[in-house]
Amino acid sequence: MFTETLSQAVDRLTAAGYTDDFRAESGGLWAIAADVLYRPESLAIDEVVRFEGITDPADEAIVFALHSEEDGVKGTYTVAYGPGMGALDAEMIHRLPNNPRRR
């Protein structure tokens, strides 16, 4: 069984066109390369990849493949998952649409 690492997942998504990086800001999710701040509700989730630490909960992470239907920007948003998640990331995840849209 193949277990994908965090870096492999990000590389795979980048190769699939998710070339921007999203970062949580006080007003929403900032697409770094596009230099645009998006309301999380305006973004579509195409894929969610979750990584669980085998022995250390601090190793838990989640990667969202996101795109903007308005302008086509596609990128990844990577955050700590579980007890290591910051309050701003938790707010942004709560504001993202609930269901990933499968392509």
Q: What is the pLDDT of residues 42-82, one digit of tens each?
A: 999 999 999 876 655 556 899 999 999 999 999 999 999 87
pLDDT band at residue 21 under the 50/70/90 scheme: very high
| Secondary structure string (H, E, C) spanning 25-81 | ECCEEEECCCCEEECHHHEEEEEEEEECCCCCHHHCEEEEEEEECCCCCEEEEEEEC
Pairing of strands 43-51, 36-38: unpaired
Distances (CA, A) of 103 to 46, 65, 82, 83: 7, 12, 28, 31
